Amino acid sequence: MNRIGIVVKPNKEEALSVARELTSWLAKKKVRVYLDSIVAPSIHPSLSCPREEIGRWVDLLIVLGGDGTLLSAARHLEGEKVPILGVNLGALGFLTETTLEELYPVLERALEGNMETEGRMKLHVTVLRRGDKVGEYAVLNDVVISKSVLARIINLRNSINGAYVTTYRGDGVIISTPTGSTAYSLAAGGPIVYPSMDLVLITPICPHTLTNRPLVIPDRATVEFTLETEESDVRLTLDGQVGCDILPFDRVVITKAQNHVFFIKSPFKDYFEILRTKLKWGER
């Protein structure tokens, strides 16, 4: 392993400082470094590489920031089987599970080939309008169909593998991977799902019918939602970062993506310790 990429949360001085130190440390190890072009001018301009291309050149990708930075970096990998080491410099950090204190010990192990990776499933999302494809996306965390602040209740007709399930009436719906089960879905009352599992979670947002509860389905299912409301102020949001407007009778089709994202697991903690720490289980 002699080519490592670094993606940094922009405008965060702590992250930039860590990136400068890390770049020097890797250079001493004779590792070729590729820096995200967004921050490279502030660190080492000659090592700049566009974020959307960095996955083609590296054996490992280090993300310095929070979960949002990691989601952005994972999206730009576009299916490249590059393991990601997420270092938490943000707030909660479910995905960026490695602490700053653990960074160099974990890297030493990785450079020696002594690392364990974990694959996380993604979702493939297609937006159809009158039969024409108007949008196509890959998602690691979740897909959210929701109304705007001032919009009325929306109706979302749901079918799975062509079979009608129900029509959700409320503020919207979240379609989540196991990785995304600790994000918006959890806040909306969804369950926590072990992140390496392959399944899809559907969680309604403030449903008008209180018996509409979260639904867990197999990863091989094809999930479809149709907006059956004349309300036009409805938004499709992907991983909380990108999205598009949804018009009446648009269809959103969701399937399991063909590729996974691979995370380097911390040798110093397991998933349940992360849950206890982040969610403060056991504290009074």
- pLDDT tens digit string along 205-220? 999 988 899 999 999 9
**What pLDDT, on the 0 to 100 scale, is given for residue 284?**
72
* Across 150-164, 175-189, 210-224, 245-259, least confident range: 150-164
* Across 90-104, 169-183, 194-208, 223-237, least confident range: 90-104
Residue 92 has pLDDT above 80, yes or no: no
Mean pLDDT of the chain: 93
Q: Enumerate domains of the chain plus CATH numbers.
A: 3-116+265-279 (3.40.50.10330), 122-259 (2.60.200.30)
pLDDT mean over 96-119 = 92
Residue 153: Cβ-neighbour burial (10 angstroms; 0-12, 13-18, 19+): middle
**Runs of H (alpha helix) within the chain:** 13-28, 40-43, 67-77, 103-111, 184-187, 271-279
**What pLDDT, on the 0 to 100 scale, is given for residue 283?**
78
* Bridge partners (DSSP) listed for residue 153: none
**What pLDDT, on the 0 to 100 scale, is given for residue 148?**
78
Query: Residues 134-162: pLDDT tens digits?
Result: 999 999 999 999 987 766 889 999 999 99
Query: Residues 11-45: pLDDT tens digits?
Result: 889 999 999 999 999 999 999 999 999 999 999 99
Catalytic annotation, residues? 67
Cα–Cα distances in angstroms (integers) from residue 209 to residues 23, 86, 184, in the given order? 54, 39, 20
pTM listed for this prediction: 0.93
